[in-house]
Structure 1
Amino acid sequence: MVDEEYAAWVQTFTPGPETAVPERVARLAGGAALEPVWRNGIGGLTFRATEAGSIRYIKYAPRTLESSMEAEAERMRWAALFTPVPRVLTHGFDDEYEWLVTAALPGRSAVDPRWVERPGDAVRSIGAGLRALHDALPVEGCPFDWGVEGRVANAAARGIEVPSSLRTAPATDRLVVCHGDACAPNTLVGDDGSWSGHVDLGALGVADRWADIAVAAMSTEWNYGPGWSDALIAAYGVEPDRARLDYYRDLWNAT
């Protein structure tokens, strides 16, 4: 991604210091200093809350049918038994909004300017981190699903009709517990360049590993520019499967 494109991308998702702090967020923060750090496409906000050297993150967003922070909290509590993910401190909702407060993990997002300037290191960390996540989370006993049938049903509940060509998945390569939103920003990278954890786990569930690999590889172009997809797949430890990559990219874009 060239500097101008990256700046525009950051501007889209980074709220400015003038961002109003919702009353609920202020109450959750207590006396902590608040800094807005992320804005999503539906008006949700994430704030960093710092107090006496302790850092928390407060997510606050309108309720939607696509996912919920209650579901994310449940998934993080389960995943934390096996792999580094944020520790849930509290969560809740009212008629219109929901919120989730977590403890900070070490590391910076893989789209922090430091790593955008070092895309080779970033994509290797994302690929290796995704493989480690898949290897660590046990499919047997996982109570969550992210399979094609469930994703299509969720889309239908939101009024989205998925093309018939995407309603049947390719033969499964390997079932894993997928992240569910393996885009580059959701891998954290330590100062040594190795992955240090994963965030935003609201869709975590069992699916073919290519459902995650395809999204992670696709996101490299958004965040680092063309040409990094295969490097991420190599860091994951497999050869590119073009048919599965194409299918799961199309499914992601359709749902």
Structure 2
Amino acid sequence: MSGGERERACTAALVPESMAAAVEGYEWARDIVGESGGVVYRLHGKSDAPDLFLKHGTDAVADEVTDEMVRMRWLAAYLPVPRVTHFVRTHDQAWLLMTAMHGRTAYQLLRSDEQARFAIVDALVAFLRRLHAIPVSECPFNSDHLFRLSRARTRIDAGLIEIDDFDDERQGWTAEQVWTAMQGLLPMALDPVVTHGDFSLDNLLIHDGEVVGVIDLGRVGIADRYQDLAILWNCLDEFDPSLQDRLWQQYGIADPDRSKLQFHLMLDELF
């Protein structure tokens, strides 16, 4: 989350007193991409101090920030994730302060280095296989499609769906049309693994050819493996369809389940 097109400089935000010393002396920048009702700041420029990220949310978003904190601490035993430095929760607000991770996003690298695109996809798939290999029995979080459908229905009824952000093939659809189309793809055979929930190119950090970190962990939990595969597959379409083929080859799926792909992409439209 760096670069002028993704953030803008801002004044320091008001934080709880217990967090004030930890953020003192930093320059602040506010993320302007994908805040989803919350606020994300990058704290940087402090001599001999690491960059930090601060997430803040109120009401329902405070619950999401709390969910991310709990999942981040759990996933740290298995994969490289940001380290929680401070967390404060009140009845209606949450602040999550965490270390920044080095590396560039997979999106940045795919845009800037066409010759390395297959190698980048290989690194992403290797990391995804590590995630999916975590024993389901060790994961305390549920993120399956039934749980997410329930949350999606609540969001639809509350008028929270941003239909202008739908993928091209669903431009002009209503949220109810997406909901109805999803029902036509159920039931489906389940293949549960530990998933990230939003395995997109902006959430994966790469350095020296390897994924060195994963961020935005609020949806981590047990779900069908296509929850992650569908989002990554869809992201790669922006660059070259051959990268999508590479995904299946490296992951080891000879015949992708198109029904599951469509279901999880439509489900993602509602979040």
TM-score of the superposed pair, with normalisation by structure 2: 0.76
Hey, what does 2:65 align to over in structure 1?
69
Matches of 2:91 and 2:244, distance apart in 1: 41
1:144 shift after superposition: 0.5
1:89 to 68, 78, 85: 85
* Residue deviations 1:185-212 (CA, integer Å, cap 9, x gap): 111111x211112111101110110111
Is 1:125–1:194's contact at 8 Å kept on the other side of the alignment? yes
* Residue deviations 1:40-72 (CA, integer Å, cap 9, x gap): 243522313353142322223444369611111
Is 1:131–1:237's contact at 8 Å kept on the other side of the alignment? no
> Does the C-alpha gap of structure 1 residues 56 and 218 become closer, same or farther in structure 2, counting only changes over 3 Å?
same
Instruction: Determine whether 1:155 maps to 2:152.
Output: yes
* Residue deviations 1:62-111 (CA, integer Å, cap 9, x gap): 44369611111101111111111111112234566432111233322212
Mark the runs of 5 or more structure 2 residues left unpaired by the alignment.
158-175
1:33 shift after superposition: 3.2
Is 1:177–1:204's contact at 8 Å kept on the other side of the alignment? yes
Is 1:49–1:58's contact at 8 Å kept on the other side of the alignment? no
Hey, what does 1:40 align to over in structure 2?
34
Instruction: Determine whether 1:178 maps to 2:195.
Output: yes
TM-score of the superposed pair, with normalisation by structure 1: 0.80
Instruction: Determine whether 1:24 maps to 2:39.
Output: no
Q: What pairs up with 1:86-125 in 2 under 5 angstroms?
A: 86-94=82-90, 97-112=93-108, 114-118=109-113, 119-125=117-123
Matches of 2:45 and 2:94, distance apart in 1: 21
Instruction: Determine whether 1:15 maps to 2:33.
Output: no
Three-state SS of the structure 2 residue aligned to 1:100 is strand
Larger radius of gyration: 2
Instruction: Determine whether 1:237 maps to 2:262.
Output: no
Three-state SS of the structure 2 residue aligned to 1:247 is helix
Instruction: Determine whether 1:208 maps to 2:206.
Output: no
1:227 shift after superposition: 4.6
1:20 shift after superposition: 3.9
Matches of 1:232 and 1:46, distance apart in 2: 32
> Does the C-alpha gap of structure 1 residues 36 and 120 become closer, same or farther in structure 2, counting only changes over 3 Å?
farther
RMSD: 2.8
Matches of 1:76 and 1:176, distance apart in 2: 17
2:129 to 109, 128, 131: 131
**Number of aligned positions between the proteins:** 239
Matches of 2:54 and 2:62, distance apart in 1: 20
Matches of 1:41 and 1:88, distance apart in 2: 19
Hey, what does 1:4 align to over in structure 2?
none
Q: Percent identity?
A: 28
1:220 to 236, 250, 254: 236
**2:224 is aligned with what amino acid?**
D
